Amino acid sequence: MCNTCGCNVTDANRHLLDEHADHRHDHDHHHAEPVATASGTVAVLKRLLDANDHEAAHNREHFDEYGVLAINLMSSPGSGKTRLLEATIEALGGELRMGVIEGDLETENDAARIRAKGVPAHQITTGTACHLDAHMIHHALHHVPLAGLDVLFIENVGNLVCPASFDLGQHRNVTLLSVTEGDDKPAKYPVMFRAADLMLITKTDLLAVIDEFSPDRATRAFRALAQEGPVLSLSAKTGEGLGDWLAWLRSEVAAQKTRAAAGETVRPKVQPDGVARHGRGAA
Amino acid sequence: MHELSVCQALVDQLRDLAEREAAQRITRVLLRVGPMSGVVPELLEHAFPIAAAETVAEGAAIDIEDAPVRVRCRNCGVETDAEPGSLVCGSCGDFRTDLVSGDELLLVSVELER
């Protein structure tokens, strides 16, 4: 596969070109410069977010250089992302060196909450943008002391739709589902939950009063997305179930150290589109 | 509404392409967008003229073709149609499948004038 000329022709997608564009390809070399024909059609076959993917790969190289595990936290607004981070810092502050990038449309409130726990936090205010992208993270990294960190949490804008489409350079996606939201959320927002390397059911202390929510149903909806990833339940408020999350986090941090020492990296299990099938991987 | 961001990325690609091909104008753009890409084709169509305004792609037609959601079962190996909210095997019902189509977010081809 050629990584230099914009050609992304694979066995899986070659038919797209055959169907839609006059083109000439040097199939022997699996290498195709965009070629204009008499009709003025140029075959491209490139991911629309190719530029973002490249910048994300660059961010990932930075994380790997310092052996830092980058976790992208995604969920609806108000599902407890910041509260989870506070509880995590309280539990592991003496053990892991953590940093946080916060994404919100407005305010420094979340970064202030994290800093109050003694952890470096940089707030990205997106204005009207509904998601973080790799470029925003690249800029934020100028304000984050990667050299002193074991794990960097990126708390994405609260939104179950848009953040799933943009690679930031993270190694893992963690998607939260609070029990106040309804157990059918994975079925309603399949792109988001399919992208999760771990689904965290949060605010389980409220299950006593919200009997409409069934963790089993939520897990079944998650599995229906061809999801083999782990599902953990916790209450950051009471600490119930927190140990399982901390154990997952510890093992991921250790795995990242091992990978980084070996010069290897990892990407979230599911990419924002099957890069391997449809086009050039940015990593 | 991240479709505008996606269209801005598209217009950036079109600008680079027009320069490389020495094109005066982009007249038509073909995309392939599957339902599992997280991008809504109708919103892309609405956002494109906004992102393309005052660029080489201003006034270009945008065609977006769908991609069916298809999975291949890791248990029985059969490839079947699926739904965005249910990617289980249509043959044996196993949930361990791989998506083989439906998450595309691709610029397929471009028509231009030199």
Is A63's Cβ below 8 Å from some Cβ in B?
Answer: no
Residue spans of the domains in chain B: they are 3-113
Whether residues A167 and A61 share a domain: the answer is: yes
Q: How far apart are CA A61 and CA A82, in angstroms?
A: 26
Residue A270 inside a domain? The answer is: no
Whether residues A123 and A161 share a domain: the answer is: yes
What pLDDT score does A226 carry?
A: 96
Cβ separation A279–B106 shorter than 8 A: yes
Is A133's Cβ below 8 Å from some Cβ in B?
Answer: yes
Residue A191 inside a domain? The answer is: yes
Whether residues A68 and A18 share a domain: the answer is: no
Q: Select from B2, B6, B62 the residue whose CB has the most chain A CBs within 10 Å, as the one to mutate to test that interface.
A: B2
Whether residues A30 and A55 share a domain: the answer is: no
> Beta strands of A48-156 (E only): which ranges?
69-74, 98-104, 121-125, 151-155
pLDDT tens-digit map of B20-65:
999 999 999 999 999 999 999 999 999 999 999 999 999 999 999 9
Side by side, the strands of the sheet bearing B61-66 are A41-47, B105-113, B25-33, B61-66
What pLDDT score does A26 carry?
A: 39
Whether residues A41 and A87 share a domain: the answer is: no
A198-202/A41-47 β-pairing: unpaired
Closest-CA distance, B51 to chain A, in angstroms, reads 14
Which residues of chain B have a CB within 8 Å of the CB of A194?
36, 87
Of B39, B87, B108, the CB nearest to A16: B108
B92 — pLDDT class (breaks 50, 70, 90): very high
A249 — pLDDT class (breaks 50, 70, 90): very high
What the block records as the tokens of B46 is 């609405």
Whether residues A121 and A243 share a domain: the answer is: yes
Sign of CA pseudo-dihedral A169, A115, A80, A201 = positive
Is B75's Cβ below 8 Å from some Cβ in A?
Answer: no
Closest-CA distance, B76 to chain A, in angstroms, reads 14
Whether residues A55 and A169 share a domain: the answer is: yes
Domain with A97 in it: what CATH number? 3.40.50.300
**Mean pLDDT value of segment A161-190:** 96
**Mean pLDDT value of segment A90-98:** 96
A129 — pLDDT class (breaks 50, 70, 90): confident
Q: How far apart are CA A200 and CA A265, in angstroms?
A: 24
Contact map slice: A 173-212 vs B, CB within 8 A: 186-188, 190-192, 194
**Mean pLDDT value of segment A210-229:** 97
Which residues of chain B have a CB within 8 Å of the CB of A228?
95-96
Cβ separation A17–B20 shorter than 8 A: no
Q: Are A69 and A146 in contact (CB under 8 A)?
A: no
What pLDDT score does B26 carry?
A: 96
Whether residues A118 and A203 share a domain: the answer is: yes
What pLDDT score does A119 carry?
A: 96
Whether residues A19 and A55 share a domain: the answer is: no
**Mean pLDDT value of segment A128-136:** 91
Whether residues A141 and A126 share a domain: the answer is: yes
Sign of CA pseudo-dihedral A253, A257, A262, A267 = positive
Whether residues A36 and A162 share a domain: the answer is: no
Cβ separation B97–A133 shorter than 8 A: no
A270 — pLDDT class (breaks 50, 70, 90): confident
Whether residues A231 and A246 share a domain: the answer is: yes
Is A161's Cβ below 8 Å from some Cβ in B?
Answer: yes
For Cα atoms A81, A233, A156, give the angle at the middle one, nearest 5 degrees: 20
**Structural domain range at position A234:** 51-261
Closest-CA distance, B89 to chain A, in angstroms, reads 9
Q: Are A73 and A168 in contact (CB under 8 A)?
A: no
Q: How far apart are CA A128 and CA A106, in angstroms?
A: 8
**Mean pLDDT value of segment A12-41:** 49
- Residues in CB range of A186: below 8 A, 6 or more apart: A177, A193, A199, A218, A221, A222, A224, A225, A227, B85
Amino acid letter, residue A275: V
Cβ separation B84–A224 shorter than 8 A: no
Q: How far apart are CA A154 and CA B79, in angstroms?
A: 36
Which residues of chain A have a CB within 8 Å of the CB of B112?
36, 40-42
Percent of chain A with pLDDT over 90: 77
CATH code of the domain made up of B3-113: 3.30.2320.80
Amino acid letter, residue B96: R
Closest-CA distance, A239 to chain B, in angstroms, reads 32
Q: Select from A156, A173, A273 the residue whose CB has the most chain B CBs within 10 Å, as the one to mutate to test that interface.
A: A273
Give the predicted TM-score (pTM) of the model: 0.86
Total domains, chain A: 2
Residue A121 inside a domain? The answer is: yes
Phi and psi torsions of A217, nearest 5°: -65, -40
Is B43's Cβ below 8 Å from some Cβ in A?
Answer: no
Half-sphere exposure of B101 (CA within 13 A, CB side): 15
